[in-house]
């Protein structure tokens, strides 16, 4: 019986092999070559770009505080309000200052009221002095003619000296009044200046970004009441690595991108802070930004510094297929389409840098046919 089933088994195996061969042969012979276009991966000269990140800050930011101690009587603005230069922000209680001001005014009026009396005393003393001088002159002429005695001449001389002394005393009192008047005038001006400190005003036009003053609170010299930043005057403060210090200079052009601002801005380096942070080993580069309405302080930004040029292997961005974190291209290898996984670097508007997975001169398929798969036969269109 064994002799009967062995030939049957061999026949079945032969038939199966023939059937498989008949199925494979048409598939291999009927596969057409897809016509594709290619571009050559080439080495190009690209600008060498260094990217630094930072935060947008207002160029002039003022912390407003009171110059004197006093209770807040009225607050005129709130956080987020726009203010003009010289606009009233806070009014302090000025009752104590008003008392001092009235006292200084009263002292000045008192001194002023004494001025006419002093002027009259000076005038009277001057008249007496003039009379004494004339009288003494006449008595001296009579004495020379021996018409009067020594006693009479001495009396005239004594009257002259008394009149001179009285005039000097009157003048001294008048000068004292002048000095006292200047003093009280200074006190009045001082009280006026101090009184003006009760009205806290904006030093420039801008936006109130913070407020800590409320009616009834005590304002102290140096204690913040408001923070104001000048509207439209912003700069990016970027952290630059210590090793890049020699490549950055004031006036250098920079390309800026900001979160929330859908445009790239051209700017220039305005200031380099030479002090390096000991922890991050970086220093601050300040970049003046153009006037863009959407720019606000606190926004995250990137500064792109162009530092010469470098050779890169680049291809059109449209030739790259991205699936999740994987990036690939299709290349022509001996008439067969092959998938190459690549690693990309920097990008321009329509080209991308290839860091690995591709070599210069390889033919990259572009455009990519929608139905072209890895391993398919291709024919390059001339």
pLDDT tens profile 59-101? 777 889 998 888 999 999 998 888 899 999 999 998 888 888 8
Helix (H) or strand (E) holding 4: helix 2-30
Contact of 298 with 56, CB cutoff 8 Å: yes
Identify the band that residue 29 occupies on the pLDDT scale cut at 50, 70 and 90: very low
Q: pLDDT value at position 134?
A: 93
Q: What confidence tens digit (pLDDT) does each residue in 286-340 have?
A: 988 887 777 777 889 999 888 778 888 988 888 888 888 888 988 988 888 888 8
Residue 30: DSSP 8-state: H
Q: pLDDT value at position 169?
A: 94
The answer on pLDDT for 7 being more than 50 is: no
Can you list the domains of the chain with their CATH numbers?
Answer: 50-59+232-308 (2.40.30.170), 61-90+203-229 (2.40.50.100), 95-196 (1.10.287.470)
The strand pair at 34-36 and 378-380 is best described as parallel
Average pLDDT over residues 206-216: 87
CA distances from 145 to 133, 138, 142, 153, 154 (A): 19, 11, 5, 12, 16
Which of 254, 280, 285 minimizes the C-alpha distance to 267?
254
Average pLDDT, the chain: 83
Q: What confidence tens digit (pLDDT) does each residue in 275-293 have?
A: 887 777 888 889 888 877 7
Q: What confidence tens digit (pLDDT) does each residue in 228-249 have?
A: 887 667 888 888 888 887 888 8
Q: What is the pTM of this model?
A: 0.47
Identify the band that residue 31 occupies on the pLDDT scale cut at 50, 70 and 90: low
The answer on pLDDT for 108 being more than 50 is: yes
The tokens describing 138, both together, are 């006449």
């Amino acid at each position: 019986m064994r002799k009967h089933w062995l030939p049957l088994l061999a026949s079945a195996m032969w038939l199966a092999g023939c059937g498989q061969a008949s199925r494979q042969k048409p598939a291999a012979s009927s596969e057409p070559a897809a016509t594709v276009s290619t571009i050559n991966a080439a080495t190009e000269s690209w600008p060498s770009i260094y990217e630094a990140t930072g935060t947008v800050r207002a160029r002039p930011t003022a912390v407003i505080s009171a110059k004197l101690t006093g209770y807040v009587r009225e607050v005129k603005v709130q956080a987020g309000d726009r203010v003009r230069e010289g606009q009233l922000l806070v009014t302090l209680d000025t009752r104590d200052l008003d008392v001092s001001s009235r006292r200084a005014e009263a002292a000045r009026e008192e001194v002023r009221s004494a001025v006419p009396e002093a002027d009259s005393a000076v005038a009277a003393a001057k008249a007496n002095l003039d009379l004494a001088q004339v009288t003494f002159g006449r008595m001296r002429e009579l004495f020379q003619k021996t018409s009067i005695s020594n006693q009479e001449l001495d009396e005239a001389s004594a009257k002259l000296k008394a009149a001179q002394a009285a005039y000097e005393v009157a003048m001294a009192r008048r000068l004292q009044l002048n000095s006292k008047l200047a003093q009280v005038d200074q006190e009045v001006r001082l009280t006026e200046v101090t009184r003006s400190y009760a009205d806290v005003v904006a030093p420039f036009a801008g936006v109130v970004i913070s407020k800590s003053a409320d009616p009834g609170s005590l304002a102290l010299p140096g204690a913040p009441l408001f923070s104001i930043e000048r509207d439209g005057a912003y700069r990016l403060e970027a952290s630059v690595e210590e090793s890049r210090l020699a490549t950055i200079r004031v006036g250098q052009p920079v390309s800026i991108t900001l979160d929330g601002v859908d445009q790239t801005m051209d700017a220039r380096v305005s200031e380099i802070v030479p002090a390096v942070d000991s922890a991050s080993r970086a220093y601050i580069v300040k970049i003046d930004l153009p006037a863009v309405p959407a720019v606000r302080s606190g926004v995250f930004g990137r500064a792109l510094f162009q530092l010469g040029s470098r050779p890169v292997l680049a291809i059109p961005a449209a030739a790259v297929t991205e699936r999740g974190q994987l990036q690939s291209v299709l290349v022509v290898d001996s008439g067969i389409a092959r998938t190459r996984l690549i690693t990309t670097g920097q990008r321009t508007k329509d080209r991308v840098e290839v860091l690995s997975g591709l070599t210069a001169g390889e033919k990259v398929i572009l455009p990519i046919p929608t139905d072209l798969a890895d391993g398919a036969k291709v024919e390059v269109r001339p």
